Amino acid sequence: MRMESTVDLTDEALIDKYREEQDMALFKILVRRHQGRVFAVAYRLLGSSEEAEEIVQDCFVKVHQNLHKYRAHSTFSSWLLRICQNLCMDALRMRHRRKDIAAISFDPQAQGQEDENFGSGKPVTQVADAGPGPSQVLDQEEQTRIIEESIQRLPENQKIVLVLHDIQGLSYQQIADQVGTSIGTVRSRLHYGRLKLKEILDPYFSPENRTQPLKSR
Amino acid sequence: MEKPSQARKEDCPQIEEELDAYLDMELDDQRAEAIEQHLAVCGDCTGRLEELSALVSKLQALPEPPLPRDFGDLVEARIKATEQAQEIAPAELAAPVQVGTAKVFQFPRPLLVAAAALALVVVGATFFGSPSSKAPIATVPDQSVTQVAEKPALPVNVPKAVEHRQESSPAVAEKAVAPAPAPALKPSDNPHLVAQSQGKSVPSLTSPAPLAVSQPAPELIAEYDDIVGDGIDDYGISTNEDGLYAIKL
């Protein structure tokens, strides 16, 4: 009976109740309420289901450890998302260290935009498509796969903003708060992220290329 | 108001940068109006906006990745394990600590000090202790023990000391449970055997001749621990209260 009433509580009310009662069932309601979104963000940022699963668990364990620090002036979901994003950033950094990959930052205006060089690579103004050639007909599943893979080729700072805005639906202000930057930077990263994504996806989706099996590059 | 014929191409780069924010409705009214005026006369920028809109639509239409499992119970188990580890951790156990990618074993400082003090006492007693202050103890010399171990009658079931180790370290226990490897004895390696093979009389193991002091092999200690009554009597070996092995003189 108690569970039926608690599932209707807001996140903040659930947290208050959990603080009072220390009933793990209450915390699990929070987990089940947000696990889908946390997994989706982690999956989009990392491009790996296994790593995203680890992030989901780490994220909620961290939330539990720091629950006493949570203050209701920000929504629980944005706090949760910030923790998730930080964990994903850590995972991406670890991945870069392990594989010693030099990330390429795409920025046509690289000379005057040092902020966009966030990450570890040199900025470039031309991005070659190293992926597979475009196919004429893409079914929905294939299209999803191509877009997901293309997102993974974006520089991290652009990828985060793009995922949070275009896929998760956060506003510029929310993203700026989340990432800890200005709205202008968010706008800039989103602009260049979309520009690069469009360039990667053009061979697959532009109308003229759909009639041509392969575009030589 | 700007007429269509007056659209300036030099405005296009600036407009293009703002198209994202315009599409996302993140521009103030004044800038949004300026862009609409430009779009009304600029086919290129209108085309770019349509492409941008199509891209964003594709992203927004991406299906939510299917959740591979329910994480409620997994998270609960992780939290409980973490809490338990924190309760047990620092005083009792040398728990591995994650430092970067490596796990490092950290021992509490008092334990380290105690261990160091104990080691000093043992070393000091071994090398500087007065023989007259103790009961006469002669540790079994290596070669003699080797000869004893050669006898096949030694039981090979799990000794108590080994059982105790087995709980804490399966690897050690496994090593100890396995029958002690029979030392490859060649007569030439052992002066007793050499002498016996040559028909000479050799001093018995229990002779009062001075014996070299050395530490018995650990696997043999494990075997002796298990020997009760007859086993030790057979070899004339006993232990004193310090647990040191001695041969009865």
Alpha-carbon span B52 to B40, nearest angstrom: 17
* A207 exposure class (CB count in 10 Å sphere: 0-12, 13-18, 19+): exposed
Residue B60 touches chain A, beta carbons under 8 Å: yes
The answer, yes or no, to whether residue A211 has pLDDT greater than 50, is no
> How high is the pLDDT of residue A61?
95
> How high is the pLDDT of residue A5?
75
And the tokens for A74? 């920000």
Q: Residue A61 is nearest to which of B55, B75, B101, comparing CB atoms?
A: B75
Among the residues of A76-206, which ranges form H helices?
Answer: 76-99, 140-152, 156-162, 172-179, 183-205
Q: Do the Cβ atoms of A88 and A41 come closer than 8 Å?
A: yes
Alpha-carbon span B240 to B224, nearest angstrom: 13
> How high is the pLDDT of residue A152?
94
Eight-state DSSP code of residue A165: I
Long-range contacts at B180-186 (CB < 8 A, ≥ 24 apart): B180/B149, B180/B154, B180/B156, B180/B219, B180/B220, B180/B222, B180/B223, B181/B219, B182/B149, B182/B150, B183/B146, B183/B149, B183/B150, B185/B146, B185/B147, B185/B150
> How high is the pLDDT of residue A112?
46
Alpha-carbon span A193 to A44, nearest angstrom: 14
B229: left (phi over 0), alpha (psi -120 to 50) or beta: left
Residue keyed to tokens 């080994």: B162
How far is Cα of residue A60 from the mean position of the Cα atoms in its chain? 17
In one-letter notation, the amino acid at residue A166 is: D
List the one residue out of A45, A74, A190 whose CA is nearest residue B26: A190
User: Which residue does chain A place closest to B101, by CA atoms?
Assistant: A94
> How high is the pLDDT of residue B138?
44
> How high is the pLDDT of residue A63?
95
From chain A, which residues contact B within 8 Å (Cβ)? 24, 27-28, 31-32, 35-36, 39-40, 43-44, 49, 52-53, 56-57, 60-61, 64-65, 94, 143-144, 147-148, 162, 165-167, 169, 171-172, 183, 187, 190-191, 194, 197-198, 201, 205
Residues of A with Cβ-Cβ distance to B52 under 8 angstroms: 194, 198
Residues of A with Cβ-Cβ distance to B75 under 8 angstroms: 27-28, 31, 56-57, 60-61, 64
Return the SS3 of A210: helix
Angle at which helix B43-60 crosses helix A183-205, to 10 degrees, equals: 90
Q: How many CB atoms lie within 10 A of CB B144?
A: 19
Alpha-carbon span A75 to B90, nearest angstrom: 36
Residues of A with Cβ-Cβ distance to B62 under 8 angstroms: 144, 147-148, 167
- Least Cα separation, residue A57 to chain B (angstroms): 6
Q: How many CB atoms lie within 10 A of CB A53?
A: 19
> How high is the pLDDT of residue B71?
95
- A14-49: pLDDT as tens digits: 999 999 999 999 999 999 999 999 999 999 999 999
> How high is the pLDDT of residue B144?
42
Return the SS3 of A123: strand
In one-letter notation, the amino acid at residue B111 is: L
> How high is the pLDDT of residue A139?
78
> How high is the pLDDT of residue B89?
61
List the one residue out of A153, A171, A175, A147 whose CA is nearest residue B21: A171
Backbone phi, psi, residue A105, to 5°: -100, 125
Task: Please state whether beta strands A123-124 and A105-106 pair in parallel, antiparallel, or not at all (unpaired).
Answer: parallel
pLDDT tens, residue order, chain B (249 aa): 444 445 677 889 999 999 999 999 999 999 999 999 999 999 999 999 999 999 999 999 999 899 999 999 999 999 999 888 877 765 555 555 555 555 555 555 666 777 888 888 888 777 766 554 444 444 444 444 444 444 444 444 434 443 444 444 444 444 444 444 444 444 445 554 444 555 555 444 444 444 445 555 555 555 545 444 444 445 566 666 666 665 555
Residue keyed to tokens 């995922």: A163
How far is Cα of residue B249 from the mean position of the Cα atoms in its chain? 45
> How high is the pLDDT of residue A131?
52
Residues of A with Cβ-Cβ distance to B65 under 8 angstroms: 39-40, 43-44, 49, 52
In one-letter notation, the amino acid at residue A101 is: I
The answer, yes or no, to whether residue A13 has pLDDT greater than 50, is yes
List the one residue out of B102, B205, B104 whose CA is nearest residue B151: B205
List the one residue out of A167, A9, A10, A185 whose CA is nearest residue A85: A167
